[in-house]
Amino acid sequence: MNMEKYIKKLETLKLSDMYENDFLLTWEKSDDEIQAVFTVADALRQLRTNNVSARIFDSGLAVSLFRDNSTRTRFSFSSAANLLGLAVQDLDEGKSQIAHGETVRETANMVSFMADVIGIRDDMYIGKGNTYMREVAGAVQQGYEDGVLEQRPTLVNLQCDIDHPTQSMADMLHIIHRFGGAENLRGKKIAMSWAYSPSYGKPLSVPQGVIGLMTRFGMDVCLAHPEGYEVMGDTMEVAAKNAAKSGGTFTKTNNMAEAFKDADLVYPKSWASYAAMEKRTVLYGNGDDAGIKALEKELLAQNANHKDWACTEDMMKLTKGGDALYLHCLPADITGVSCGEGEVDASVFNKYREPLYKQAGFKPYIIAAMMFLAKCKDPAKMLKVLADRGHARWLE
């Protein structure tokens, strides 16, 4: 097993700000830090593939708080925590009512006496999820400084209203491996496109996370959606700035075919519009159930106007060589399989099933890398320690 390249790579990166820090938005992280996450993720996978334990904790808790249903992110978080030696303790809202303000501060401290990591998914309401995470982060930071907590638990954003960093980073690492290195992505075109789904209200954090991250690699990132499905303006600005800096481009279109034209990668996926989600957040705040139901109906009708936004075989033919890499965060709404009409044709999905599954397989390692970099003062040295220790994960 050759860990040398990963260790050497890490040694060239400035990572001091990651130690004891959170991972909330990719665009708050430097290029070095983003690269470090990819490097550590690959290194941890190599350790595990070689049956070398990556446990840096003999005991400790990873607290998970999911405010939205989740299978893959839940298992990715559990896997990552377990890989590093932490036990997961769910903070189940059904069991333990959480609100805002004083309660957030208090609960954050109460669950953190022996917590090394806190993972939060809170993606339902615009302006809420990321704000909540920062409240929690502030609370545990204060608790740590006051001597209430003996360690400062690290926050990992498992999806908020703004970004979905563990998803976009997993997507990106998949792409990097697929194209044989980040250096080969320069000038490649990716279409981050809206697609029709018979459900409504899917979070915006995936497209926002993708344009906010993938514009950093010199790619031509094209965001496509029907009128009325705009994403948050702030994330558009981030994408534009990133593209300018990285030597790539960031464009927007209301034409799916235009986005797919000559694309090397396509990411067709449904989401709700920012405006609609804001409206819903207000209705929710007012406890206006009738209003929410009416909005839901209206949004489904709006969606239904755009059934032609689907990743069909014909649409795929427009892409570079007709075989762009198809990406999705899963589960996809597959026409004739999981729904009548949906985001993608079954034949397209089937062709790409294996890479799609592999794409998802990066997430546990990405999360583990985020934890690792926040918990190891000298990550390069720690990788060396683990490799040299050579403790078997599994006595096969």
Q: From the CB of 56, what's the least distance to its own copies, in Å?
A: 4
Tell me the number of residues near its own copies by CB under 8 A: 75
Cβ count near 312 (within 10 Å): 16
Binding mask 11-50 for its own copies (x = CB under 8 A): ----------------------------------x--xx-
Window contacting its own copies (CB under 8 A); options: 99-107, 265-273, 300-308, 319-327: 99-107
Amino acid code (one letter) for 73: T
Residue (146 or 227) nearer to its own copies, CB: 146
Residue (187 or 331) nearer to its own copies, CB: 331
Residue (69 or 233) nearer to its own copies, CB: 69
Q: From the CB of 225, what's the least distance to its own copies, in Å?
A: 25
d(CA 188, CA 190): 7
Residue (294 or 346) nearer to its own copies, CB: 346
Identify any residues that bridge with 117 across adjacent strands, giving them in sequence order: 62, 154
Cis upstream peptide for 331 (omega within 30°)? yes
The interface with its own copies within residues 137-156 (CB under 8 A) comprises 143, 146-151
d(CA 235, CA 239): 6
Residue (55 or 351) nearer to its own copies, CB: 55
Residue (235 or 359) nearer to its own copies, CB: 359
The interface with its own copies within residues 373-392 (CB under 8 A) comprises 375-377, 382, 385, 391-392
Q: From the CB of 33, what's the least distance to its own copies, in Å?
A: 19
d(CA 297, CA 290): 11
Contact between 395 and its own copies by CB under 8 A: the answer reads yes
The interface with its own copies within residues 298-357 (CB under 8 A) comprises 330-331, 334, 337-338, 354, 357
Q: From the CB of 361, what's the least distance to its own copies, in Å?
A: 5
The interface with its own copies within residues 237-266 (CB under 8 A) comprises none
Q: Is the distance from CB of 282 to CB of 254 less than 8 angstroms?
A: no
Q: From the CB of 31, what's the least distance to its own copies, in Å?
A: 26
The interface with its own copies within residues 111-130 (CB under 8 A) comprises 111, 113-116
Question: Which residue, 138, 72, 66, 115, is CA-closest to 95?
Answer: 66
DSSP result, 253-300: ES-HHHHHTT-SEEEEE----HHHHHHHHHHHHTT-HHHHHHHHHHHH
Q: From the CB of 258, what's the least distance to its own copies, in Å?
A: 30
Binding mask 50-79 for its own copies (x = CB under 8 A): ---xxxxxxxxx-x--x--xxxx-xxx-xx
Q: From the CB of 94, what's the least distance to its own copies, in Å?
A: 9
In sequence order, which residues have a C-beta less than 8 Å from that of residue 126 and are 6 or more positions away?
161, 232, 274, 277, 278, 280, 281
Residue (126 or 176) nearer to its own copies, CB: 176
Cβ-based burial of 157 (10 A; exposed 0-12, middle 13-18, buried ≥19): buried
Question: Which residue, 13, 65, 69, 2, is CA-closest to 36?
Answer: 13
Question: Which residue, 104, 98, 90, is CA-closest to 62?
Answer: 90
Identify any residues that bridge with 266 across adjacent strands, giving them in sequence order: 191, 326
